[in-house]
């Protein structure tokens, strides 16, 4: 099994173990995803695998696509959601294992993000230094760089404990220094603009630029994890 497949299987096992420790908290709203309860996050994670296996990828990652995953499982028990995710997840493991390296980077990025959403809700930190986190950061910064080069945006240096990654065009006009974990959370709209301005910047702070996609929005209030 290749590294991406192993990472996804390990992450899935970790999330299932985490939620089994918190069976009475799964109807609560996750602060990082205020429109979804914890069980809705699980429905999305399982629904992604279901859709991949059955080739239902039209509108992938859009709000209607993810909402349909949650709606389909709304009347299911949590146990049914977990069993369904494991069944389809095993099929996806095999698909990842047979695909070129990096093909399923977005899947790992999304799943790691939602694991951290759940950990933040349960006040149970973990999974910040695992291989899946490294793979999520690699995929995310590649997307970041492609977006900024396409838009001819002046280079920005991202400095973390793992080194410096430059995104954009030319020599960096600014640098932001913080942990890889913090950058990943900022990239997915899990940090307020005030929190992002509080990172160590050279040059003008630009919280909006750290958002990876248009559908990510910084929360008005600080999110502490």
pLDDT at 131: 95
In a domain, 131, yes or no: no
- Note down the domain range covering 192: 141-210
Q: Provide the domain count of the chain.
A: 2
Structure confidence at residue 202 (pLDDT): 97
156 and 64, same structural domain?
Answer: no
Other beta carbons less than 10 A from residue 23's beta carbon: 9
Interatomic CA distance for residues 61 and 107, integer angstroms: 10
Q: Are 24 and 93 in the same domain? A: yes
Evaluate whether 217 touches 193 at the Cβ level (below 8 Å): no
Exposed, middle or buried by CB within 10 Å (0-12, 13-18, 19+), for 24?
A: exposed
- How does the average pLDDT of the chain come out, rounded? 97
pLDDT above 70 as % of the chain: 100
**So what's the pLDDT on residue 22?**
96
Q: Is residue 37 a part of any domain in this protein? A: yes
User: Token pair of 159, please?
Assistant: 């400095």
Q: What is the CA radius of gyration of the chain?
A: 17
Residues 25 and 107 in one domain: yes
Which pLDDT value is given to residue 123? 96
Pair 18, 94 in one domain: yes
Match 């996050």 to its residue by tokens.
41
Q: Which residues contact 64 (CB under 8 A, 6 or more apart)?
A: none
Specify if 127 maps to a domain. no
Say whether both 95 and 44 belong to one domain.
yes
77 phi-psi bin (left φ>0, alpha ψ -120 to 50, beta other): beta
**Does residue 216 form part of some domain?**
no
In a domain, 21, yes or no: yes
On whether both 147 and 108 belong to a single domain, the answer is no
* 113 and 167 part of one domain: no
Residues 56 and 118 in one domain: yes
In angstroms, rounded to a whole number, what is the distance separating the alpha carbons of residues 209 and 72? 35
Structure tokens at 82: 């977990």
Distance between CA atoms of 49 and 96, rounded to whole angstroms? 11
The gap from C-alpha 194 to its chain's centroid, in whole angstroms, comes to 21
Per-residue confidence in pLDDT tens, the chain, 225 aa: 899 999 999 999 999 999 999 999 999 999 999 999 999 999 999 999 999 999 999 999 999 999 999 999 999 999 999 999 999 999 999 999 999 988 999 999 999 999 999 999 999 999 999 999 999 999 999 999 999 999 999 999 999 999 999 999 999 999 999 999 999 999 999 999 999 999 999 999 999 999 999 999 999 999 999
Res 145: pLDDT: 98
Over residues 150-175, the pLDDT tens digits come to 999 999 999 999 999 999 999 999 99
Instruction: Give the CATH number for residue 156.
Output: 3.30.1050
* Whether residues 148 and 105 fall in one domain: no
């Amino acid at each position: 099994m290749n590294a991406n497949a192993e990472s996804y299987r390990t992450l899935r096992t970790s999330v299932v173990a985490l939620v089994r420790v918190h069976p009475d908290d799964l109807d609560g709203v996750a602060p990082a995803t205020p429109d979804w309860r914890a069980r809705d996050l699980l429905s999305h994670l399982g629904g992604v695998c279901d859709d991949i296996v059955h080739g239902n990828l039209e509108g992938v990652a859009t709000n209607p696509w993810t909402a349909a995953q949650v709606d389909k499982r709304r009347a299911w028990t949590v146990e049914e959601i977990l069993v369904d995710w494991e069944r389809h997840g095993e099929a996806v493991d095999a698909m990842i294992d047979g695909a070129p390296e990096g093909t399923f980077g977005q899947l790992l990025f999304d799943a790691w993000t939602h694991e951290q959403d759940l950990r933040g809700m349960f006040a149970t930190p973990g999974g910040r230094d695992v291989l899946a986190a490294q793979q999520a950061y690699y995929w995310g910064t590649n997307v970041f760089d492609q977006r900024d080069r396409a838009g001819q945006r002046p280079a920005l240096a991202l400095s973390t404990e793992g080194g410096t990654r430059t995104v954009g065009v030319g020599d960096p006009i600014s640098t932001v220094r913080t942990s890889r974990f913090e950058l990943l959370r900022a990239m997915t709209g899990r940090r307020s603009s005030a929190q992002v301005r509080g990172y160590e910047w050279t040059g003008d702070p630009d919280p909006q630029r750290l958002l990876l996609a248009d559908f990510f929005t910084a929360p008005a209030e600080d999110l502490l994890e």
